């Protein structure tokens, strides 16, 4: 169990070890931030990376970053990610984008769901996030 930034990361000692990289449970105190599922759309609403899971994942994480920032949060505050993918074969690309944005020693709880389709046939993934923002940050006065 590691505690940082008012978040506690727990893997159940008598449970099955996470098969891939995530944490079983993340707890914390503060303000909950829920970020709706993000798609691989740029600022103009244009699809980024048609047919390219890595490019779409990178754009989705950039969109998550922007949404978190708008709520006064960052990736260090993320406690849960939910991945909706049209093919689980996209998970390595998603994990690579995630690892570029999140501390691998503090990975959030996560769920991955393969779906038949998303909002359009060119979208390969949609990712939503939950974050816990401390009531007061160390830099607050």
Q: What confidence tens digit (pLDDT) does each residue in 80-128 have?
A: 999 999 999 999 999 999 999 999 888 999 999 999 999 999 999 999 9
Count: domains in the chain: 1
Q: Is residue 139 part of a domain?
A: no
Q: Is residue 140 part of a domain?
A: no
Sign of dihedral through CA atoms 116, 117, 123, 129? negative
Q: Is residue 55 part of a domain?
A: yes
- Longest C-alpha distance within the chain, in Å? 49
Q: Is residue 72 part of a domain?
A: yes
Q: Is residue 91 part of a domain?
A: yes
SS (H, E, C) 70-139: HCCCCHHHEEEEEEEECCHHHHHHHHHHHHHHCCHHHCCEEEEEECCCCCCCCCCEEEEEEEEECCCCCC
Residues with Cβ < 8 Å from 12, sequence gap 6 or more? 24, 25
Q: Is residue 141 part of a domain?
A: no
Q: What confidence tens digit (pLDDT) does each residue in 38-96 have?
A: 999 999 999 999 999 999 999 999 999 999 999 999 999 999 999 999 999 999 999 99
Indicate if the pLDDT at residue 30 is higher than 90: no
Q: Where residue 93 sits, what CATH number does that domain have? A: 3.30.1330.40
Q: Is residue 138 part of a domain?
A: no
Which three-class secondary structure state does DSSP give residue 53? helix
| Domain boundaries, position 126 | 2-133
């Amino acid at each position: 169990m590691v505690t940082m930034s008012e978040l506690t990361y727990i893997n159940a000692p008598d449970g099955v070890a996470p098969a891939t990289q995530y944490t079983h449970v993340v707890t914390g105190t503060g303000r909950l931030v829920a970020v709706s599922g993000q798609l691989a759309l740029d600022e103009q609403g244009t699809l980024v990376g048609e047919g390219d899971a890595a490019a779409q994942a990178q754009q989705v994480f950039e969109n998550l970053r922007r949404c978190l920032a708008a709520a006064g949060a960052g990736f260090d505050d993320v406690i849960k990610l939910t991945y909706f993918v049209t093919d689980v074969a996209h998970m390595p690309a998603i994990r690579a984008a995630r690892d570029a944005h999140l501390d691998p020693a503090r990975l959030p709880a996560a769920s991955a769901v393969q779906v038949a389709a998303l909002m359009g046939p060119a979208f390969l993934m949609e990712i939503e996030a939950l974050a816990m923002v401390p009531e007061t940050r160390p830099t607050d006065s």
